[in-house]
Amino acid sequence: MKSLVLYYSQKGSNRYLAEKIAQELQCDIEPIRPRVDALLLMIMGLHLGNKKLLHDVGSYDLIILCGPIWVEQFIAPFRFFVKSNFNSIKQLVFVTCCGSSYEQKDEKYGHGRVFNKVRELLKEKCTLCQAFPISLVLPADKKEDGELKMKTHLNDENFKGEIAERFEEFISGLKNYPSYRQVLDMA
């Protein structure tokens, strides 16, 4: 199973996550680099495309796309990537370190709504979406603290406890991906 991790990150959490996934799977990794890397423009949909990737998407069995969620969007650089590589993508897993918690996933701005968009776009090519909400690394009494959520980024210090356990589970699923996929297909 040949995998490629592609990521986009502004504040570092998704880069951290992407690097950890690539390290665990011992696979290739590359950032998606928007031609114009301006958050506001990308949120408004004024995206001028991405720079050319060094890796050949079509030569991988699995693309693992890792990046943030902004205002309930599957972010523009990822939408552009999917659009321009649709025929070359065999299977894709979407992973995000985001602001919305598991409890909030189906509410406005929740990651569950974005997962629906990803599945709609990729159809049977996307068998798995996984969130690692930043609240997983906050103390129990601060999980709803919006300001703290925005200030907190994943790092070696805080990547422990529940997030590390969930990450381990996710990785072992990916390592057994073809059979894991069958389980998902049956679900």
Ligand X SMILES: Cc1cc2nc3c(=O)[nH]c(=O)nc-3n(C[C@H](O)[C@H](O)[C@H](O)COP(=O)(O)O)c2cc1C
**How many residues line the site for ligand X (CB under 6 A)?**
19
Cβ-count burial 66-90 (b if 16+ within 10 Å, e if not): bbbbbeebbbbbbbbbbeebeeebe
Query: Site for ligand X (CB under 6 A): which residue of 97, 129, 137, 174?
Result: 97
Query: Site for ligand X (CB under 6 A): which residue of 86, 102, 109, 180?
Result: 109
- 98 contacts ligand X (rule: CB under 6 A): yes
CB of 152 to ligand X, least distance (A): 8
Query: Site for ligand X (CB under 6 A): which residue of 6, 69, 92, 93?
Result: 69
- 99 contacts ligand X (rule: CB under 6 A): yes
HEC string of 112-127 equals HHHHHHHHHHHHHHEE
- 28 contacts ligand X (rule: CB under 6 A): no
Query: Site for ligand X (CB under 6 A): which residue of 134, 136, 163, 174?
Result: 134
- 70 contacts ligand X (rule: CB under 6 A): yes
Distances (CA, A) of 65 to 3, 17, 19, 84, 122: 11, 11, 12, 14, 12
Distances (CA, A) of 52 to 30, 84, 88, 103, 129: 11, 11, 14, 37, 25
- 130 contacts ligand X (rule: CB under 6 A): no
Nearer to ligand X, 90 or 153 (CB): 153
> Which residues sit at the interface with ligand X, rule CB under 6 A?
9-14, 68-72, 97-100, 109, 111, 134, 153
